[in-house]
Amino acid sequence: MAASPLRVVFAGTPGFAVPCFEACRAAGADVVAAYTQPDRPAGRGRKLAASPVKEAALAAGVPVEQPGSFKAEADRARLAAYAPDLMVVVAYGLILPRKVLAIPRLGCWNVHASLLPRWRGAAPIQRAILAGDTESGVDLMQMEAGLDTGPVLIERRTPIAGDDTGGSLHDRLATLGADALAEGLRRVLAGETLAARVQAAEGVEYAHKLDKAEARLDFSQPAIALERKVRAFDPWPVAEGDVAGEHLRVWAAVAIEGKPGAIPGTVLAATRQGIDIACGTGALRLTAVQRAGGRRIGAADYLNARPELKQASA
C-alpha cells in the first residue's frame, strides 16, 4: 500500500510566501489548508484586499482560513481538525502559541530570510543591507516558542551585491526559501528525519520592523550609510530627503568621494550622471528621484525641470 501523502497546513501572507506555498504542492505534499492574515484595506479606495497567499490558495482550490489570532479554542480546534502532519509558516504575521505549535505531528517549520541567529525578527532583508552585510540567505527552521530561535534544518546562502535593493534581495531569497523548503519536504516524504542544528548563542541581532520615519535621509551621516538606506528601502518605504529646497523620494543613489569642508546637504554638482549631495563623510550621488505627485525619473530628467541646479553647481 502506498504511503499517505504528508498533510501540510501552510501559513503565510505576503508575496514572499507564495513560492513556498507552490513548493509545498510541487514537492508532493497534500496542502489541506492555507492560513493567512484577514483581508486588509488597500489602494486609494481602501477596499478590502486578499493577501497574495490567499489568492494563490484560492486559485489552487485549497481551503483558506483567516483567524485574527489563535487565542480562541475554536480556532485551535479548527486547525487540529485538518489533522496536519506539518505546518509550514512563511511570513505569516502571527506569533504562534505553544498550543498551536504542538498540533501538527511533526511540529511547525518556518522559512526565515536570514542566516540565523543574525537578524531574527520582522525585517531581516532590509536590516542586512542597512548594516552592510555581504551575505544573506534563508534558513528552514523547526519552530519553537521563542522568536526565530529554533534549530536550523536547511540553509541556503547568497552574496549581497553592491547594487542589491530590498526588492531584488527579497525576490532572490523567496526563490531560495522555496528551494530549501522543497528539499526538506522531499527528504521527509522519502522517510528521512532531518538533522537539526542548534543556533549559536553569539551573533544574535534583532531585525526591527521598518518604520517609515527611518526613510528620512540625514545628510550629516556618512554617504555609504545613506546609499545602503536608499537600496534597503526600495521598494518600501523609499528613502526621502530635501534637495535644494524640494522634498524628494530617492530611488537610487551611490556613495562617492566628497568635497572637504562642504556643508552636509549642499548640492556639489548636478549633471546627467546625478546630483551630488555633500554628506558627513563623502557625498551621495542621486541617480533616480521622484517629485511630489510625480513618478520615478532619472537625474537628467529631473534637472531638465530644475536647470538652476546645474548652473548653481557649475
Residues annotated within the binding site for (6S)-5,6,7,8-tetrahydrofolate are 114-117
Residues 6+ apart with CB under 8 A from 6: 28, 29, 30, 85, 86, 185, 188, 189
User: Among 129, 131, 90, which Cα is nearest to 111's?
Assistant: 90
**Under DSSP, is residue 301 helix (H, G, I), strand (E, B) or coil?**
helix
Return d(Cα 187, Cα 262) in angstroms, integer: 60
Grid look-up 527528504 returns: 187
User: Among 112, 87, 91, which Cα is nearest to 99's?
Assistant: 87
Binding residues: 114-117
- The grid coordinates of residue 98 equal 505553544
Return d(Cα 143, Cα 109) in angstroms, integer: 6
Grid look-up 557649475 returns: 314
At 168, which amino acid appears?
Answer: S
Buried-state track 217-255, b at ≥16 Cβ within 10 A, e below 16: bebeebbbbbbbbbbbbbeebbbbbebbeeebbbbbbbb
Return d(Cα 75, Cα 123) in angstroms, integer: 28
Give yes or no for a cis peptide into 52 (omega within 30° of 0): no
Contact status, residue 310 vs residue 298, Cβ threshold 8 Å = no
